[in-house]
Structure 1
Amino acid sequence: MIRTGEQYRESIRDGREVWINGEKVADVTAHPAFKPLVDIRSRIYDMAHEPDTREVMTYTDPDTGEVNAIQQKPPRTREDWDAKRAATDAVLTDVGGVVTRVGDETIGEVWSLIDGQDVLDAINPAYSDNVKHHIDKACFGDPFHVSANTDPKGDRSKRPQDQDPDMLLHVVKETDRGIVVRGAKYETAAAYSNQAFTKPTIANWGDSELSDYALGFMLDMGSPGLKYICRTGFAGRAPAEDYPLANRFDEVDTLVVFDDVEIPWENVLFYRDTKAATFIRATLHRYSAYAFTQRNLRLADLMIGAALWNVKQTGLEKQQAVQEKLATLACYREGINAHLTAAVAMAEPSPGGLLMPHQSLLYTGRVLACSQLHEMMHIARELCGGQICITPDKASFDHPDTAPWLEKFYSVNEHWVAEDRRKLLAYARDLLNSDYAGHRLTFQLFAQSPPFAHLGAVYRNFDWDGPLDLVKDAAGLSDNVLGTLGRKAK
């Protein structure tokens, strides 16, 4: 059943070994680098219990009568997808910003396993049973679930066996209890999560020697042998008044080191089978891309709001050139919105009996959202003006020797006093121009997969037959050309 925020906090006080800035972290819930996101994840849990938000955050299971999180529910109807979108919007509105790795965007990868149960069952029925168990655990046990995806990889011109084999996560031995794995994975939020769906990286599956690298399992993040080595956080590096987003919404990325970690057999989802690994990789984002792309929609709204307030406070919104740039931002925003809306309106049955967003629309929407984000950020920077990169900090606005001058030069009129302008410029700087803004841009570009993989997903899911048939008929081509496609005339 749904947990409270305090139950979540207690669940990650399990003695895990977490490092950041050369420091071993005693309590990940209290450390200043992690506390802001732990607080947000706790807040999401508590929203499921509070009268004002519990209806949008939860549903009652008809079989058990238990109240569960709507985001964890496997989608079977369009109404399920509408409810998930509303819940994500409610969270982002409540916390006042964008968080990406908080579970709802990675739970979809577990639903993809439902579609792969036949493939796994043909390999080993025990794997299919494990999948069923972990789907239920993820959907109804309400863990903070993340995804362990990419490896360090090393020299990609060489096979893993021709260099340090630990560059890709692999099995080193079997025991009566399970498999022992060694290597490393990168995962945002790993240091303060409960479990991860750990998957194989993209590899040359044509080489049978790589079979030890073709494995997938559910990882208990408190397992012995795990080490969490985190990048430097943005929270606490500068005052929150000057960097309001970096101090609240930095989701700390982590290198998760597997130092001979034993995975119980009941947690192994597939093992030493390249067909299963290939299938899981190909279907990984058929659900999770929806929530991921929805975050870009909220980012677009934040950019539009920051840019529009900046031009309004200086009276520039009536200029045609300004209106054109605002309209470009609006087109980007509505393009994402249209793809998300249409993907659900034209949703398709999945092989496992779920309802998946229309795949071509979903993946093309993701490409739109990610590939144009940097251009939209630059347009928003132009509209906000140069003051977002030259405005003094809050301490200068407060000091008695400098405050009068800043009050004079940053007050526009009776509606826009210096303090409101300072807050707006600080917000826009952190959204568009800071180290944190650059980090988020790169993260959104690569977080689900690199751009070439985004386009590869579009290629695999677009209906190429429609345009081919259209031109065949329009050009009067004979049915003989269908032989080049492996198709016969109807």
Structure 2
Amino acid sequence: MTVAKTGAEHIASLRDGRTVYIDGQLVPDVTTHPAFRNAVQSAGALYDFQAQPENIELMTFKPEGSNRRVNRAWQMPRSYDEMIQRRKALQAWANVHYGFMGRSPDHVASALVGQRMGIDVFRKHSPDRAKAFADYFDYAAKNDLFLTYVIINPQAERAKDWSQQADNLVARIVDEDSGGITIRGAKMLGTSSILANEVLVANLQPLKPGEEDLAFSCALPINTKGIRILSRKSYESSAVSIFDNPLSSRFDENDALIYFDDVKVPWDRLFVYRDTDVCRQQFHDTQGHSFQNYQAQIRLSVKIKFLLGLARRLTEAIGTTKIPSVSEKLGYMAAQASMVEAMLSGMEASGSKVGEYWVPNKHFMYSAQVLTQDLYPQFVNSIRDLSGGALIMLPSSIDDFKDPMLKKIIHTTQRAAAMEPEDKVKFLKACWDAVGSEFGSRHQQYEMFYAGARFVTAGHSFRTYDWNSATGAVDSLLSSYSLADELNGVTH
């Protein structure tokens, strides 16, 4: 057995008979299917990276009672220094995919880390459910599992409560016996479910009294009987080549709807049972929501820096870097990228001890989320502005280089002061894949909405800000003088 989980082990674990559909067909093996095989390899590359001898200490730790090291995403930091150590590991992992795998294995692991810190929430709900969750966390951590989650309901008739939607739309409890419960219905968005070992099923959206059939939380292997995964269109399968689509051909993690077709959930995999308020508490009264979104900001810091690098290289490719307005734009974008890193450092340094664990500053985390929801599309638009027509006037595909006459024309027309023609085309193809392709457009939508609509994230910021301190300063000023004193000539 190797010191830590490897890519070969992970890829082998995905050959488990899971039920995945795409383009109307059942996928016999996700590790070899042209819609998923490169993304599977990219997921495997993460585990290979952590298992390299030179990365073992950076990327992994040994959980108590385990004889094998696992990714630091499973580490519950007990100090500021441990939090920084953990964050550096997560940034190193994000660098492997340039920040484009939003649901890499460290995301849901981070959510579970925060929830495990708040195990008392589960204990107040039920000692049995708390034991089930604690035991599952230990199992998932010691086996370094890749988890996805489905924690929101399918969009339908928004004027109706979830319990009033059409039958079998929203996943709910339809039966139970001595062995567990049975669930039926759908959940979203199963991003990376095709690449994952197991799925956490929960409710981030508020539930109301009377919706107890919907109020559950559990974790199941992806290949559990009755779990049906309906993948969206694969950008990987549409990619012409790595040269033409270097990001979408390798890092398309795929979003999916997961339908639970009378799926049996054993009691020892059930963490919340028919309690609408505990469904909310699982995320918001523990550190679960904080840690999952803190991880997202860690990943985004890598992705924003990558986009900034694209912007700089773009101006070099078309020879505009020294134009004052362009260098001003690059300087402004650099300040924005540094702001993301500074906010990340701020939420860590101004974190605090909650029980025995060090947790990030919750308001700083939410404020970063609100600001970066706007920042990402601004970055994309800035790159488009800097490019002009450069991202459009490109060879149709790598096949154009196979024809000597076309290759000569390409070498004549794709000229740059700092790049050879082929290098310029290669770079501009990568740039377009990041900001203009269908894959790139999906990422803009993802970064704007993965944490919820603006009113949701701004609402978190509103609720967690220290308003008493802010309004107290105003009240202090107003109490330092009065109209009567002014009229009577009293000085302060």
With normalisation by structure 1, the TM-score equals: 0.92
Is 1:385 equivalent to 2:360 in the alignment? no
TM superposition shift of 1:348: 1.6
Q: Structure 1 residues 115, 459: CA separation in 2 closer, same or farther (over 3 Å shift)? A: farther
TM superposition shift of 1:356: 1.2
Aligned to 2:391, what secondary structure does the other structure show? helix
Deviates more, 1:263-272 or 1:211-220: 211-220
TM superposition shift of 1:201: 4.5
- Give the Cα separation in 2 of the matches to 1:16 and 1:426: 34
Is 1:112 equivalent to 2:114 in the alignment? yes
TM superposition shift of 1:396: 2.2
Name 2:193's counterpart in structure 1: 190
- Give the Cα separation in 1 of the matches to 2:207 and 2:132: 26
Instruction: Provide, for residues 406-429 of structure 1, a one-character-per-residue CA deviation record: whole Å limited to 9, x for no partner.
Output: 11111234x422101101111111
Q: Which runs of 5+ in 1 are unaligned?
A: 479-490
Aligned to 1:53, what secondary structure does the other structure show? helix
Q: Is the 8 A contact 2:99 2:299 kept in 1?
A: no
One-letter amino acid of the structure 1 residue matched with residue 336 of structure 2? Y
Q: Is the 8 A contact 1:229 1:256 kept in 2?
A: yes
Structure 2 residue aligned with 1:403, among 400, 407, 430?
407
- Give the Cα separation in 1 of the matches to 2:227 and 2:103: 20
Name 1:238's counterpart in structure 2: 239
- Give the Cα separation in 2 of the matches to 1:145 and 1:353: 25
What is the aligned length? Answer: 474
TM superposition shift of 1:319: 1.6
Name 1:485's counterpart in structure 2: none
Name 2:174's counterpart in structure 1: 172
Is 1:319 equivalent to 2:323 in the alignment? yes
Q: Which runs of 5+ in 2 are unaligned?
A: 482-492
TM superposition shift of 1:340: 0.4
Name 2:219's counterpart in structure 1: 218
- Give the Cα separation in 2 of the matches to 1:104 and 1:477: 51
Is 1:301 equivalent to 2:305 in the alignment? yes
- Give the Cα separation in 2 of the matches to 1:287 and 1:157: 31
TM superposition shift of 1:64: 4.7
- Give the Cα separation in 2 of the matches to 1:256 and 1:62: 34
- Give the Cα separation in 2 of the matches to 1:116 and 1:402: 63
TM superposition shift of 1:12: 1.9
Query: CA RMSD of the aligned region, Å?
Result: 1.9
Instruction: Provide, for residues 131-184 of structure 1, a one-character-per-residue CA deviation record: whole Å limited to 9, x for no partner.
Output: 211221222221111211122142121234434132221100111110001111
Structure 1 residue aligned with 2:342, among 331, 338, 341?
338
Instruction: Provide, for residues 75-114 of structure 1, a one-character-per-residue CA deviation record: whole Å limited to 9, x for no partner.
Output: 2222222222222232233445632211112212212322
One-letter amino acid of the structure 1 residue matched with residue 449 of structure 2? F
- Give the Cα separation in 2 of the matches to 1:62 and 1:137: 12
- Give the Cα separation in 2 of the matches to 1:303 and 1:201: 30
Q: Structure 1 residues 425, 153: CA separation in 2 closer, same or farther (over 3 Å shift)? A: closer
Q: Is the 8 A contact 1:143 1:194 kept in 2?
A: yes
Instruction: Provide, for residues 350-403 of structure 1, a one-character-per-residue CA deviation record: whole Å limited to 9, x for no partner.
Output: 3x5322111111111121222221111111111122110231233223322211
One-letter amino acid of the structure 2 residue matched with residue 402 of structure 1? L
One-letter amino acid of the structure 1 residue matched with residue 415 of structure 2? S
Is 1:452 equivalent to 2:436 in the alignment? no
Name 1:16's counterpart in structure 2: 18
Name 1:86's counterpart in structure 2: 88
TM superposition shift of 1:439: 0.4
Q: Is the 8 A contact 1:243 1:426 kept in 2?
A: yes
Q: Is the 8 A contact 1:116 1:279 kept in 2?
A: no
Structure 1 residue aligned with 2:269, among 261, 267, 270?
267
Name 2:445's counterpart in structure 1: 442
Q: Which aligned pairs between 1:361-376 and structure 2 lie closer than 5 A?
A: 361-376=364-379
- Give the Cα separation in 2 of the matches to 1:18 and 1:301: 34
Instruction: Provide, for residues 250-308 of structure 1, a one-character-per-residue CA deviation record: whole Å limited to 9, x for no partner.
Output: 11111111001010001110111122112124354211111211222222212211121
- Give the Cα separation in 1 of the matches to 2:281 and 2:94: 33
- Give the Cα separation in 2 of the matches to 1:312 and 1:30: 39
TM superposition shift of 1:220: 1.8
Deviates more, 1:431-440 or 1:363-372: 363-372
One-letter amino acid of the structure 2 residue matched with residue 474 of structure 1? L
Instruction: Provide, for residues 2-24 of structure 1, a one-character-per-residue CA deviation record: whole Å limited to 9, x for no partner.
Output: 42222222222111111011121
TM superposition shift of 1:315: 3.0
Q: Is the 8 A contact 1:316 1:322 kept in 2?
A: yes
Name 1:257's counterpart in structure 2: 259
Q: Is the 8 A contact 1:313 1:412 kept in 2?
A: yes
Aligned to 1:167, what secondary structure does the other structure show? coil
- Give the Cα separation in 1 of the matches to 2:35 and 2:102: 17
- Give the Cα separation in 1 of the matches to 2:81 and 2:38: 32
With normalisation by structure 2, the TM-score equals: 0.92
- Give the Cα separation in 1 of the matches to 2:18 and 2:437: 32
